[in-house]
A and B are shown apart, each in its own frame.
Chain A
Amino acid sequence: MISDLPGLPGTGAAPGIVAIVLVTVATLALGTYGLRLSRTTSDFMVASRAVGPRMNAAAVSGEYLSAASFLGAAGLLLAFGAEMLWYPVGWTAGYLVLLVLVAAPLRRSGAYTLPDFAEARLGSRAVRRTCALLVVAIGWLYLLPQFQGAGITLASAVGGPGWLGPVVVAVVVLVNVTAGGMRSITLVQAFQYWLKLTALLVPAAVLLVVWWGDGRPGDPASTAATTAWSVPLADGGAQGLYLTYSLIAATFLGTMGLPHVVVRFYTNPDGRAARRTTLLVLVLLGVFYLLPPVYAGLARVYAPGLADSGSDGLVLELPGLVVPGLGGDVLTGMVVGGAFAAFLSTSSGLAIAVAGVLSQDVFTRPFRGTRLSGVAGFRAGAVVAVVVPAGVALTGSGAGVATTVGLAFAVAASTFCPLLVLGIWWRGLTPAGAIAGLLAGGVGSSAAALVTLYTPASDGWSDVLLRQPAAWSAPLALLVMVGVSLATRRTVPAHTNRLMVRLHTPEAVVLDRG
């Protein structure tokens, strides 16, 4: 942990605590303001105006930019070099694939969650249940690095033992999600995006000014090391090439399968608005992801030692290292607040998505004659959704924040990507084919994820294939889905053609969508 390093200037607990409290208070205050109120007849029409693409795009970005983006990306860049730029590139470009292939038809399907889409498209409860299972798996895998990241943030800002961070964070998220109702309000999430952007942009600008004032010093490392650092491919020849392409596959294809992102598209009034929202998300994320490389580059100059001593804390430490005194404290407070917002928004969104699926498909089903009410079911779901990944975060796996996020993307790319793409663009998909493909991709990629999380890394091809499974597991899932669907051609749902018309016809076209 960074805070254990001796001689860091101005890293007292105060700025961090102040920032965290401010972010929490602002979030809760905005949450109570989520309803649009109108008392006079003149603003009646305003009250029922749908959420615009701009607001929605900020909300999607706010929920999406997690601790991995805020902390992990810069750390990876510093430690491993320009090859890690593929993470921010992929995290953004995933929305391009989403925009082109999925956004509008998904909205037109009327589905709220991914299991909803599966049920609407294939009319099968079994597919729905398989999807629910996968949503929970992906949600947990994605929540895990949020808790890890929160642990790093808290330890760095406030100090204290390593277990404190995940516990505090899990409790805050749990209280936020269960007691406050379903706090995933568009306004709050949109605010979180601008908060995160500001928290990263302002210190970056100050650091750049300082760097300019210092006479624009270059990389203190040798020219050869700098050249190696800036190669956009992983080391190790063919293995490195595979790792890079697999990472690209996972991030490009995985975004569409993230449960907390998909539910946000429901807020768009129609397919066209869904596309505009996605386009704006591309812009917002593009702007945001310009910043982590700035931190990584400046850290090469000012704090090359961070690369070896836990690079996940780089963003939090760098402002204090470069700018001494009060100025450094303020900037540190900003990035700590931003990091806190990053984990709060993403993990709340994920916890809600997982809890929703758990409550709908598990806890509110009758069990031995009794059944929980909606709210009790949701709360039970939220507890399970948060406690399991928090527990895993406490037992501590060796993988870094961004690596674990990468695995969540790989599982999503190997399961929901084929389901969505084939479900939207191919009439021949059958329930049996969907289940077989989901299982093949899901079991393959999550087994790889577990192996990566719990065994030490080695250099063999088998380890490389497991560390970045998406390049083989996504095509595998796709092929199995197509193959089994062709073999069970007779069970193509009867309503397929009608549904396809609805998915692909703009709402403005007048026709009977029956």
Chain B
Amino acid sequence: MLRPRLLRSWRRRHLGTDADRATFRTLHTAALASPALRAGLTRDSAERAVRHLRTLLGTPAVALTDTAGLLAWDGAGQHHADRVPDLVQQTLERTGTRAFGREDLHCAESGCPARTAVVSPLFVEDRVVGTLQAFAPVSTAGLARATEEVAQWVSGQLELAELDDSRTRLMEAEVRALRAQISPHFVYNSLGAIASFVRTDPDRARELLLEFADFTRYSFRRHGDFTTLAEELRSVERYLLLEQARFGDRLHVTLSIAPEVLPVAVPFLCIQPLVENAVRHGLESVEGGGHIRITARDQDQECLIEVEDNGVGEEPEHVRRVLAGDRSVDSVGLGNVDGRLRAVYGDEYGLVVETAPGAGTKVVVRVPKFHPGVHA
């Protein structure tokens, strides 16, 4: 007699009261449904989430729909599926949760547990995107309340999904902006430099013009988020050739490349902006002109790329702000590359910047040779 009570008191202390545990269970079920819903409202995500939503509501059947018709059904009474679009239509006519009784569902099958329905709309930013439908033998006020609450929670998850989506779109827009950013200055100055060779050295002018054409073709290409390091470096080389045509002896460049890492897939335009920064900083240094060193090393499962200049350097605090995403400072390239590297490979692969005023700048990019889903 004593032991069950002891056990119960032990459980009470350690796992909480019955009410606590019911809460935990509910939260756990919600957590199971949430990853699917965070992918947005599609047939696939609905099918994965609807089972958990039915557990949450405790009804014989639950359906998830978009504004046109059924996405997924879980539980008994599948023969009602063809009535679903109709229920959606009627719910969309007036906003708010609606209950449908036996007379609305016209069920001919005996023993069907889905004779009544509660339908609650799902919102994303005040726009109806679908409905949550709970079917039960009799609809009660409790069920209506529960359905509405669950529908609101689902709406919250879908809004987060929308947020993820817009974040991805923003990232894509940034890459596009980066491409468009191949700055007007650079185009103008390169053409100017080429023009200066047209009479004195027509062959060189022609070569430079072809390099310029190749450079722009690469930078403006539309497809693919990734490229090989070889391609990216080739574009960097073209860029440097054009800059050297303009600055001549004021710009010294050293490349040392381990040929083993050339096939590594890297995010498109992840080195180019760093080199552009280095050239700008390097040329700002007063005596002797700028010296830029680009190194690519093979480090077993990773590839290490360093872009170094002997320029004026920067306040570490300033760089920190750039990498933290502060848009008021003017070094868009650095922050953008950092953000994209982190988005693709995870936080431990962010840029490493070593700099101090007067001491030059070294930017280190680390890229794994293989990462799921990354290919040039």
Chain A residues at the B interface, C-beta cutoff of 8 Å: 34-39, 41, 44-45, 47-51, 110-113, 116, 119-120, 123, 181-182, 184-186, 266-270, 352, 355-356, 359-360, 374, 378, 502, 512-513
Measured between alpha carbons, how far is A186 from B234 in the docked complex, in Å?
21
Q: Which residue of A lies closest to B252 (CB)?
A: A39
Measured between alpha carbons, how far is A267 from B303 in the docked complex, in Å?
12
Measured between alpha carbons, how far is A96 from B376 in the docked complex, in Å?
28
Q: Which residue of A lies closest to B237 (CB)?
A: A44
Q: Which residue of A lies closest to B233 (CB)?
A: A48
Measured between alpha carbons, how far is A47 from B229 in the docked complex, in Å?
12
CB pair A513–B300 under 8 Å, yes or no, is no
Note all chain A residues with C-beta closer than 8 A to B295.
35
- Closest Cβ–Cβ distance, residue A384 to chain B (whole Å): 15
Select one of B234, B260, B301, B376 contacting A267, CB under 8 A: B260
- Closest Cβ–Cβ distance, residue A52 to chain B (whole Å): 9
Q: Which residue of A lies closest to B368 (CB)?
A: A112
CB pair A47–B263 under 8 Å, yes or no, is no
Interface residues of B in 217-249 (CB under 8 A from A): 223, 228, 230, 233-234, 237, 240-241, 244
Note all chain A residues with C-beta closer than 8 A to B262.
48-51, 269
- Closest Cβ–Cβ distance, residue A498 to chain B (whole Å): 11
CB pair B256–A49 under 8 Å, yes or no, is no
Note all chain A residues with C-beta closer than 8 A to B252.
39
Interface check B150, CB cutoff 8 A: no
Select one of B253, B297, B300 contacting A39, CB under 8 A: B253
Note all chain B residues with C-beta closer than 8 A to A34.
258, 298
CB pair B240–A35 under 8 Å, yes or no, is no
A–B complex contacts, Cβ < 8 Å, 21 sampled: A35-B257, A35-B297, A47-B233, A47-B255, A47-B256, A48-B237, A51-B259, A110-B265, A110-B376, A112-B301, A113-B301, A116-B369, A119-B372, A123-B372, A182-B298, A182-B300, A266-B369, A267-B259, A269-B262, A374-B299, A512-B223
- Closest Cβ–Cβ distance, residue A359 to chain B (whole Å): 8
- Where chain B touches its partner, the secondary structure class is mixed
Interface check B183, CB cutoff 8 A: no
CB pair B230–A269 under 8 Å, yes or no, is yes
Measured between alpha carbons, how far is A99 from B49 in the docked complex, in Å?
45
Select one of A41, A47, A113 contacting B241, CB under 8 A: A41
Measured between alpha carbons, how far is A113 from B234 in the docked complex, in Å?
26
Interface check B302, CB cutoff 8 A: yes
Note all chain B residues with C-beta closer than 8 A to A37.
254-256
Note all chain A residues with C-beta closer than 8 A to B234.
45, 48
**Additional A-B contact list (6), CB under 8 Å, known A36-B256, A50-B259:** A37-B254, A38-B254, A48-B237, A182-B298, A186-B260, A374-B302
Measured between alpha carbons, how far is A512 from B369 in the docked complex, in Å?
22
Interface size for B (C-beta < 8 A) is 34
Note all chain A residues with C-beta closer than 8 A to B254.
37-39
Note all chain A residues with C-beta closer than 8 A to B237.
44-45, 47-48
Note all chain A residues with C-beta closer than 8 A to B24.
none
- Closest Cβ–Cβ distance, residue B235 to chain A (whole Å): 10
CB pair B298–A110 under 8 Å, yes or no, is no
Measured between alpha carbons, how far is A51 from B256 in the docked complex, in Å?
15
Measured between alpha carbons, how far is A41 from B252 in the docked complex, in Å?
9
Residue in B253, B254, B295, B375 with the greatest tally of chain A CB atoms within 10 Å: B375
Q: Which residue of A lies closest to B235 (CB)?
A: A48
CB pair A50–B241 under 8 Å, yes or no, is no
CB pair B253–A113 under 8 Å, yes or no, is no
Note all chain A residues with C-beta closer than 8 A to B298.
34, 182, 185
Q: Which residue of B lies closest to A512 (CB)?
A: B223
Chain B residues at the A interface, C-beta cutoff of 8 Å: 223, 228, 230, 233-234, 237, 240-241, 244, 252-260, 262-263, 265, 295, 297-302, 369-370, 372, 374-376
Note all chain B residues with C-beta closer than 8 A to A268.
263
CB pair A356–B263 under 8 Å, yes or no, is no
Interface contacts (Cβ under 8 Å), in number, total: 106
- Closest Cβ–Cβ distance, residue B277 to chain A (whole Å): 19
Note all chain B residues with C-beta closer than 8 A to A123.
372
Note all chain B residues with C-beta closer than 8 A to A110.
265, 370, 374-376
Measured between alpha carbons, how far is A185 from B254 in the docked complex, in Å?
21
CB pair A35–B230 under 8 Å, yes or no, is no
CB pair B300–A378 under 8 Å, yes or no, is yes
Measured between alpha carbons, how far is A194 from B233 in the docked complex, in Å?
31
Q: Which residue of B lies closest to A494 (CB)?
A: B44
Note all chain A residues with C-beta closer than 8 A to B301.
112-113, 356, 359-360
Q: Which residue of A lies closest to B372 (CB)?
A: A119
Given contacts A356-B300, A502-B375, contact A36 B253 (CB under 8 A): no
- Closest Cβ–Cβ distance, residue A43 to chain B (whole Å): 9
Note all chain B residues with C-beta closer than 8 A to A269.
228, 230, 262-263
Select one of B255, B256, B300, B372 contacting A120, CB under 8 A: B372
CB pair A38–B375 under 8 Å, yes or no, is no
Note all chain A residues with C-beta closer than 8 A to B302.
374
Note all chain A residues with C-beta closer than 8 A to B370.
110-113, 116, 120
Note all chain B residues with C-beta closer than 8 A to A49.
259, 262
- Closest Cβ–Cβ distance, residue A65 to chain B (whole Å): 20
Note all chain A residues with C-beta closer than 8 A to B263.
50, 266-270
Note all chain B residues with C-beta closer than 8 A to A266.
260, 263, 369
Note all chain A residues with C-beta closer than 8 A to B228.
269
Q: Which residue of B lies closest to A374 (CB)?
A: B302
Note all chain A residues with C-beta closer than 8 A to B297.
35
Measured between alpha carbons, how far is A50 from B263 in the docked complex, in Å?
8
Note all chain B residues with C-beta closer than 8 A to A38.
254-256
Measured between alpha carbons, how far is A41 from B262 in the docked complex, in Å?
19
Note all chain A residues with C-beta closer than 8 A to B369.
112, 116, 266
Residue in A36, A111, A113 with the greatest tally of chain B CB atoms within 10 Å: A36
Note all chain A residues with C-beta closer than 8 A to B233.
47-48
Residue in B230, B233, B260 with the greatest tally of chain A CB atoms within 10 Å: B260
- Closest Cβ–Cβ distance, residue A39 to chain B (whole Å): 5
Note all chain B residues with C-beta closer than 8 A to A378.
300
- Closest Cβ–Cβ distance, residue A151 to chain B (whole Å): 27
Q: What 8 pairs between A and B have smallest CB-CB spacing?
A: A116-B370, A44-B237, A112-B369, A35-B256, A48-B233, A182-B300, A112-B370, A110-B375
CB pair B259–A36 under 8 Å, yes or no, is yes
CB pair B300–A186 under 8 Å, yes or no, is no
CB pair A41–B265 under 8 Å, yes or no, is no
Note all chain A residues with C-beta closer than 8 A to B258.
34-36, 185
Note all chain A residues with C-beta closer than 8 A to B372.
119-120, 123
Q: Which residue of B lies closest to A382 (CB)?
A: B300
- Closest Cβ–Cβ distance, residue A180 to chain B (whole Å): 12
CB pair B260–A181 under 8 Å, yes or no, is no
Measured between alpha carbons, how far is A378 from B304 in the docked complex, in Å?
15
- Closest Cβ–Cβ distance, residue A376 to chain B (whole Å): 13
- Closest Cβ–Cβ distance, residue A460 to chain B (whole Å): 45
Measured between alpha carbons, how far is A400 from B299 in the docked complex, in Å?
34
- Closest Cβ–Cβ distance, residue A349 to chain B (whole Å): 11
Note all chain B residues with C-beta closer than 8 A to A41.
240-241, 244, 253
Note all chain B residues with C-beta closer than 8 A to A51.
259-260, 262
Measured between alpha carbons, how far is A281 from B67 in the docked complex, in Å?
61
Measured between alpha carbons, how far is A239 from B7 in the docked complex, in Å?
65
Measured between alpha carbons, how far is A50 from B375 in the docked complex, in Å?
17
- Closest Cβ–Cβ distance, residue A354 to chain B (whole Å): 11
Residue in A34, A111, A352, A512 with the greatest tally of chain B CB atoms within 10 Å: A34
- Closest Cβ–Cβ distance, residue A191 to chain B (whole Å): 15
Q: Which residue of A lies closest to B245 (CB)?
A: A41
